[in-house]
Amino acid sequence: MRKVQGLVFFMLLAVFISCRSDPGIISLVNPSPAETIQRPEIHSMEDYRGKYEGESIPEWVRLYLESGNQGVEFMGVFQEHYAFVARNSGSNFTALNHWLEGFSPELDFPRLAAARIEARFLMESPLPDIVFGTFYINLIRAASDHNWRGPLVYDHFWMLSRPGPQEPAAWEFLILCIMPRNLFLAQYNYIYNNVNSRSAPTWEEQRALNRLANRFSDGF
């Protein structure tokens, strides 16, 4: 039953995300090393923001393409912050640019935060709704509904890349959001401690939750 509830919840979440995206655009949010999202290679870029003005590819973009959000956080300027990269790709540059212009930290950051929290639970177990029970499902829902304080858009970037010689080139837009780590964790702990669950976790579920709580920031 818990597994079915989890599947229903994520189907609804997928519908919600698709509704927030412009028509014809595939939205890819907050990829992390725990996910299997293929990122473009630097050498496959045919065009990118600032190329014809002689600008180089920003370091945060290079690190993100190599190692995801955690790669960006290795930069000295971000060591006290968490990085969240929103992605959108497709063949229509104008539609993607509208998505970029309409991006709002207040409205769009909650799904980035919820996706990264979900990825952290998936690192702990491939079946988090079974291991952690309904608490996990309600936690992700609460994180996606939370009015997060403090997210900032630091930079954005776009590129045109071709995955393979016989494949069509596609545009990809990236938006880098950051938040101080202490501020994010304070809000996460508030959400965690105020999750409304229909039933109390079982002894096994509570033990798994306690183990994760003690090392949540490791690998986040």
pLDDT per residue as tens digits for the range 9-40? 444 444 334 444 433 333 333 434 444 445 55
pLDDT at 21: 40
Query: Is residue 62 domain-resident?
Result: yes
181 CB-contact burial (10 Å; exposed 0-12 / middle 13-18 / buried 19+): middle
Short-list 59, 57, 55, 92, CA closest to 172: 92
- Compute the distance between CA of residue 150 and CA of residue 49 in angstroms, rounded to an integer: 27
Look at residue 68 and give its three-state secondary structure: helix
Query: Is residue 219 domain-resident?
Result: no
Determine which helix (DSSP H) or strand (DSSP E) holds 192, and give its type and residue range: helix 181-193
Query: Is residue 198 domain-resident?
Result: yes
Structural domain containing residue 47: 2-214
Query: Is residue 84 domain-resident?
Result: yes
- Compute the distance between CA of residue 191 and CA of residue 163 in angstroms, rounded to an integer: 40
Query: Is residue 101 domain-resident?
Result: yes
Query: Is residue 220 domain-resident?
Result: no
* Percent of the chain scoring above 70 in pLDDT: 80
Short-list 94, 105, 110, CA closest to 24: 94
Q: Which pTM does this prediction carry?
A: 0.78
pLDDT at 219: 84
pLDDT at 36: 42
C-alpha 142, offset from chain centre: 16
C-alpha 179, offset from chain centre: 13
Domain count for the chain: 1
Query: Is residue 113 domain-resident?
Result: yes
